[in-house]
Structure 1
Amino acid sequence: MANYMTYEDLKKAVADTGRPYDIQMLDKAYALADKAHAGQNRRSGEPYICHPLNVALLLVELGMDTESLAAALMHDVVEDTHVRLDEISASFGPDVARLVDGVTKLTKIQFSSVEEQQAENLRKMLLAMSQDVRVMIIKLCDRLHNMRTGDAWPEQKRRDKALETMEVYAPIAHRLGISNIKEELEDRSLRYLDPVGYQEIQDLLAGSGGEAFVTGVASVIEERLAENGMPNAVMKSRVKSVYGVYRKMFIQDRDFEEIYDVYAVRIILDTVAECYNALGVIHDMYHPIPNRFKDYISTPKPNMYQSLHTTVIGHEGIPFEVQIRTKEMDQMAEYGVAAHWKYKAGVQGSDKLDERLAWVRQLLESQRESDDAGSLLQDIKGDLLPEEVFAFTPKGDVINLPAGATAIDFAYAIHSAVGNRMMGAKVNGRIVPIDHKVATGEIIEVITGPADKGPSRDWLKIVTTSEARNKIRNWFKKERKEENIQQGREALEKEMRRNLVNIPDDQWDGFMAEIARRQRLNTAEEMYAALGYGGLQLSRLMGKIKDEYAKMRAAQPRPAVLGDIPLRQHKGTDGVVVEGIDNCLVKFAKCCSPLPGDEIVGFITRGFGVSIHKKDCENAQASMANPENRERWVNAHWEEQVQENYKATLEMVAMDRDGLVGDVAVALGELRVPIYALTARSADNGRASMSATLGISSTEHLNSVVAKLRKVKDMITVTRI
């Protein structure tokens, strides 16, 4: 018989803590959950009650209170069984019921698209967390146990859950400071997302003999600290998590030997003064690596993490990190906000809990006026980034920002009035561009202009924080309404022309009013204004416009198919036979850029010869439906031996890196393909967008070029336009 976890195991773990838990409440919660889940099994075959028991055990390890454990035992009963929330409230009180309800609600809301659903669930999660952070801690433990037993899921569900865990839950665990849960969530997600890379790093770590090395170093340091008047130092050692190594090897493109903090020794002391004394001892014992010292004691991270970090090279020539902190700092580093319960049992008041959760309320506040769910999702994920930088104002105030933030983000973090009036910036006394990436330790002075200056629209493409983005949008929303409407409408009309979306004038107003209504806006003008100030993203709106346009066209009478049209026969040149006429002037339509191998048809223009289109071209189909044009369409096909080159344009998206354009050019050179144009630009999310116009002889030739380009390192997509 399988060895499943029981309630007796949980009670033993509770008793071992020596903390004053309310066992009667836990007994009652277990009895209710056991009865409600009776007969239910998980995919792995174990009784369903094992899942809430394991979640509760994780909370015991974090030191959470009785109410959290009771809520964990019952966290699935409202959603999956007949038990109602009011029954839980009557038996256990409103606090436990609110925790159960908070955990249940995070996954129950349905929206019109997956992205909007995910964004709204994130908003709900943050809202629940701002009201009672225990909801989020229970949810993290719930997700951790699910990931531990994820092998029972189907392959696609494993990957979906792993991606969601990596993008949302692990960063939240980081921002709450619960490092053990964060690292395990990342490692277990990586095992499903990239099993080969995961195994490669596990093998590297296993073969490095690192644990024996750091254990030996820790004992040597302990002896030296005792000699220097610090006999009470507690030593810990660790090897970096698999995902921590993966991120530096595969995302930052470093070799294993180039990662300096794979091994770390932690020194836990009684006072802050001893921490700085110990730092001097370490630098005396080992050679410190320049620019690898970080003082998080004087400048804590946003999740209140404090420690001294220095990287040194041992006598074996192996670099390792030394972390020096007090007992309280170590508790905060291990348990984050959960330390509030683990080490403050029976103490009233919020301690520094409100301060640690200020970022949640700030994020919700900045999103309150957001018009676009996709933008919300991007902002929330951006603000949960694990890395931060710390810079200083000339007066010495510390401003912390996500890694990659610019001088504009810095200005708006000080105050919206400073950001709106910004004209430039000085870093350590030297003028820098406004898109300068802020680095830790810089002293940044914002140069301001007159009070009525206002930001530039281009800043929306430069800033990285949601706070700056929303403050810029709000300025344009209030100050430039007419300009926003005009710019938004012009941008929309241009994008619709590019996508061949042609709305008749008599249907335009009704069509746009319906699109605005679907965006929860009252009028089309409000929609144009939102596009103008950046509250709505044009790329997302176009998807909805194309859907509505397709429905509108489907409701209209179907155009005649090509075979039903009486086509006259002409003959042409340039590798194309236009049936019926010799040596007529032929040009290739830019709307569909036909190539040898495509099925084609010709249109007799007035004075410019025959325009050749692909048979399935939208413009061709629309013209054939018009009785005035039907007589001007003629049959055409490619000559059997076509030697000429025809222009075709390819759009490429790749991860941005040095040498990318050169690699693309080399690949095209190896194929001996004529290049008429090649452009590249940086896009969002660390990507680059490229466009190449090439000389192609046939669709087969084109397919071979596309296949070659897709093999270029870091290439994501290659599409013909």
Structure 2
Amino acid sequence: MIDSFSVLVEKVKKYDPGCNFEMLEKAYVVSKTAHMGQQRISGEPYIIHPLEVAVILAEMELDCTALIAALLHDTIEDTTCTYDELKAQFGQEVAELVDGVTKLGKIPFTTKEEQQVENLRKMFLAMAKDIRVIMIKLADRLHNMRTLKYMSEGKQLEKARETLEIYAPLAHRLGISKIKWELEDICLRYLDPKGYYDLVEKINTKRKQREAYITKIIETLREKTNELGIENAQIDGRPKHFYSIYRKMVKQNKTLEQIYDLFAFRIIVNSVKDCYAVLGLVHELYKPMSGRFKDYIAMPKPNMYQSLHTTLIGPGGQPFEVQIRTWDMHRVAEVGIAAHWKYKEGINNTKDSDKKFAWLRQLLEWQKDTRDESEFMETLKIDLFTDEVFVFTPKGDVINLPVGSTPVDFAYSIHSAIGNKMIGAKVNGKMEPIDYKLKNGDIIDILTSSTIHGPSRDWLKIVKSSQAKSKINQWFKKEKREENIIRGKEMLERELKKQGLTYTQLFKTEWVEQVLKKYNFSSQEDLYAGVGYGAITANKVITRLKEEFKKTLKPEELEQILETIAQTKNERKKKHTLESGVVVKGIDNCLVRLSRCCNPVPGDEIIGYITRGRGVSVHRSDCINVSAEQGEEERLIDVKWRTTNDVAYKADINLMANDRTSLLLDVTNCITEAKIPIKAVNARTTREQITVITLTLEITNTEQLEKIIKRLRKIDSVFDVTRNKQ
């Protein structure tokens, strides 16, 4: 252990001779004393772990304060040591770093997912104040993954999944490829050991052949760079790391033999000018593959990564990748944010750092409004897995967004006011729909209108970025509060009904207060509004209230209530099967489905068709799909309408008219006055200025349908209204 501490000190002396080594040793002694008697699952003394975490950070050249915090990072969580004691001995800065890494251990959680989300929330909040929190956490996770073999198989899988989903992408987000690659490869070893070891064996089988190939290309590149007069260029080649190859094999459904670009060569030079000179050189030596050149020097990745990437066809037709960068770029590529650390001033004092952590602030801003654990995790993964698309504003500014983003995401990335007033978008000078998937290099021009006063709720289904979701939700939260309260209450009542419960059963003042406290709502109206605009699901609220309700019941009372709820659900299910409004001859309680192709309604002549696995499909007798089933008469069955007017049916109407202003308004007003619900409208105008409108209405019988058709025919300019036969 003393040797390990000596290794740490020697590493720090090389890059930060001004470090307070006396305080560093004090942290080591305090941590060792606090963890005295504790052992890791491997049987090693516990102090080995914080020492190794500190060494990992020293390899990334973090400052002395971070190393002190690393040595102490488990003391609050796993020993009797407190925040106040650390603050008194090492100062507030160290105490806050340790507290930021500490999990929320003493708060009761309903589910493991809820606990994971709350721990991540805490970590991100601490990380926003001081990025070193996540650096310590990543080093902590890396050492834990290195010693994962001592855990049970269940724990190995759990930790590997969490690491692959959260911590490896987070390392990528911070540009720390050194940690990211190692984490991914370790995760693969536990998540798919057979796939991992098969891959290792296959790659090792051709090691000599591969090494000879790499050596040949390195010699050629070194000779030519020297001829070009580029001094001190470092050239090395390596196979890509295992997880990268494995993911490509799975994604493209290929064997190792079908993956060609297994090699990556890195050329490190002194200046940006030399980078482009070397690029020209390699393109002269080897044929570049079309569409495989990326200039991350001109357009750096959001995690600060810069390099030139090009894929070339090498000797024997073997493709390989070349990355060209300066020494400064190389340091950033290896240790990311740590390369920008300023030992005395800290990282949070520059405008440049603000840009680097814009994504983190957006994440924190979004998560304030999100109480649902599964939604938080889903969007967190979108934010961390940075497959990105680079697009341009009309002025040429580069905007990076998650892959799959739309013009709506782009609009909100510029400003919330532009998103809120957006009416359309031009992509490369051509109008595109708002759900168009942006591609690299697209130039986006957002069209706005002063008469538009907010986004559509449907936009939440098409946007990809958490920034856009957050801003849309903020608008609804602020501008539509009354509407959200009504909507939220209705959603809760529907969920209660669905679960066979009543409002008076669950919404007791003391139970509601527990929910408000848990999800940070200040009042019951805020809770309704939160459900209304999507901050939390109705099911989540009801589940929490049910837990409070169950605490007050004796076991026999709980059993009786659960039995009543189950009975209510069964009755509702039975009622639902009856509400198709159709009786099948000779069969009771049969699954019946009204066919969408012809939408039969009471009054129509109908026939049943026995489907495979979906009960009886009911068609109109004149439906062409029924006549098409010639030769399968044995599957046709007699059905009849039940005598009830309580069931609503969908019917499609086609309307044709001479185009004029306010035509659609007159049509919808006519239907509204007849108190008939409109379920869908589709309208278009032909070149001959004929307007064609297709309406889906909810009606109870053919008599009602015929009445509305007659009324529609009387509208000015309308010359034909028919029921859609197919």
Residue 515 of structure 1, CA deviation? 9.2
8 Å Cα contact 1:593-1:648 kept in structure 2? no
Aligned partners of 1:323 and 1:488: how far apart in 2? Answer: 53
The 8 Å contact of residues 287 and 312 in structure 1, kept in 2 or not, is answered as yes
CA RMSD in angstroms comes to: 3.7
Equivalent residue number for residue 298 of structure 1 = 298
Sort the Cα spacing of 1:320 and 1:69 in 2 relative to 1 into closer, same or farther, 3 A.
same
2:424 maps to 1:442: no
- Asked if 1:361 is matched to 2:343, the reply is no
Of the candidates 61, 64, 69, which is equivalent to residue 62 of structure 2? 64
Structure 2: distance between partners of 1:519 and 1:81? 30
Asked if the contact 2:389–2:401 (Cα under 8 Å) also holds between the matched residues in 1, the reply is yes
Shift in Å at residue 285 of structure 1? 1.0
**Structure 2: how far apart are the matches of 1:408 and 1:30?**
52
Q: Which residue of 2 aligns with 1:591?
A: 573
Match of 2:461 in 1: 461
Partner of 1:94: 92
Per the alignment, residue 146 of structure 1 pairs with 144
Distance in 2 between residues matched to 1:131 and 1:25, nearest whole Å: 23
Tell me how far apart the structure 1 counterparts of residues 636 and 394 of structure 2 sit (CA, whole Å).
Answer: 51
How many angstroms apart in 2 are the aligned matches of 1:368 and 1:387? 24
Q: Identity of paired residues, percent?
A: 47
What's the counterpart of residue 185 of structure 1?
Answer: 183
Matches within 5 A, 1:210-229: 210-229=210-229
Partner of 2:648: none
CA distance change for structure 1 residues 194 and 8 in 2, over 3 Å: closer, same or farther? same
Paired AA for residue 155 in structure 1: E
Equivalent residues, number: 581
Q: Report the counterpart of residue 127 of structure 1 in structure 2.
A: 125
Query: What does 1:498-577 correspond to in 2, within 5 Å?
Result: 499=498, 501-504=499-502, 507=505, 510=508, 517=516, 519-521=519-521, 525-538=525-538, 540-541=540-541, 543-544=543-544, 555=557, 558=560
Gap change, CA 1:238 and 1:393, over 3 Å in 2: same
The separation in 2 between residues aligned to 1:545 and 1:38, in whole angstroms, is 44
- 1:203 is aligned, of 201, 217, 230, to 201
1:433 CA displacement = 2.2
SS in 1 for 2:447: strand
Rounded to whole Å, the distance in 1 between the matches of 2:337 and 2:353 is 7
Tell me, in whole angstroms, the C-alpha distance in 2 between the residues paired with 1:647 and 1:549. 39
Unaligned runs of 5+ in 1: 563-587, 595-605, 615-643, 650-673, 677-721
Q: Is the 8 A contact 1:389 1:401 kept in 2?
A: yes
Q: 1:27 to 1:312 in 2, by over 3 A?
A: same
Inter-CA distance 108–100: structure 2 relative to 1 (3 Å threshold): farther
Q: Which residue of 2 aligns with 1:323?
A: 323
Question: 1:212-263 deviations in whole A, cap 9, x for unaligned?
Answer: 4334312211211221221331112232122212222224534435545431
Q: Which AA in structure 2 matches 1:205?
A: I
Report if aligned partners of 2:506, 2:545 keep a CA contact under 8 Å in 1.
no
Q: 1:131–1:367: structure 2 CA closer, same or farther, 3 Å change rule?
A: same
Aligned to 1:378: 378
Q: Is the 8 A contact 2:52 2:143 kept in 1?
A: yes
Query: Separation in 2 of the partners of 1:29 and 1:527?
Result: 46
Residue 265 of structure 2 corresponds to which residue in structure 1? 265
Q: Cα offset for 1:522?
A: 5.8
What residue is the counterpart of 1:160 in the other structure? 158
TM-superposed CA distance for 1:115, in Å, is 2.5
Q: For residues 394 and 197 of structure 1, do their structure 2 counterparts lie closer, same or farther at Cα, with a shift above 3 Å needed?
A: same
Q: 1:289, CA displacement in angstroms?
A: 0.9
Partner Cα distance (1:132, 1:522) in 2: 29
Task: Provide Cα deviations, 1:345-367, integer angstroms capped at 9, x if missing partner.
Answer: 66777464443223222321233
Alpha-carbon displacement from aligned partner over 1:378-433 (angstroms, at most 9, x marks no partner): 33222112322211011111111122222211111111111122222222222222
Q: Which residue of 1 aligns with 2:472?
A: 472
Alpha-carbon contact 1:286-1:313 (below 8 Å) kept: yes
* Distance in 1, Cα, partners of 2:573 & 2:185: 48
Task: For residues 532-585 of structure 1, give each alpha carbon's deviation from its aligned partner in whole angstroms, at most 9, with x where no partner exists.
Answer: 3222234545655776788889747949999xxxxxxxxxxxxxxxxxxxxxxx
Show the counterpart of 2:333.
333
Q: Supply the AA of the counterpart residue of 1:24.
A: E
Structure-1 residue corresponding to 2:670: none
Q: How far apart are the structure 2 equivalents of 1:531 and 1:328?
A: 49
Residue number in structure 1 paired with 2:600: none
For residues 333 and 611 of structure 2, the distance between their equivalents in structure 1, rounded to whole angstroms, comes to 64
TM-score w.r.t. length of structure 1: 0.72
Contact 1:278/1:324 (8 A) holds in 2:
yes
Pick from 17, 31, 45 the counterpart of residue 29 of structure 2: 31
Letter of the aligned partner of 1:444 in structure 2? I
Cross-structure match for 1:406: 406
Partner of 2:170: 172
Residue 129 of structure 1 aligns with an amino acid whose one-letter code is: M
Instruction: State the SS of the aligned residue for 1:63.
Output: coil
Structure 2 alignment gaps of length 5 or more:
565-569, 577-582, 592-609, 616-634, 638-726
Per-residue deviation, 1:20: 3.8
Tell me how far apart the structure 2 counterparts of residues 523 and 91 of structure 1 sit (CA, whole Å).
Answer: 42
Separation in 1, partners of 2:274, 2:213? 25
Matched with 2:135 is 137
Question: In 2, distance between residues paired with 1:372 and 1:317?
Answer: 52
Secondary structure, in 3 states, of the residue corresponding to 2:437? coil
CA distance in 1 between counterparts of 2:258 and 2:467 reads 35
Please list, as runs of the form range in 1=range in 2, the aligned pairs for 1:46-57 lying within 5 A after superposition: 46-57=44-55
Q: Equivalent residue of 1:591, what SS?
A: helix
Alpha-carbon shift at residue 492 of structure 1 (Å): 4.6
Q: Contact conserved, 1:302 with 1:356, CA < 8 A, in 2?
A: yes
> Is 1:419–1:455's contact at 8 Å kept on the other side of the alignment?
yes
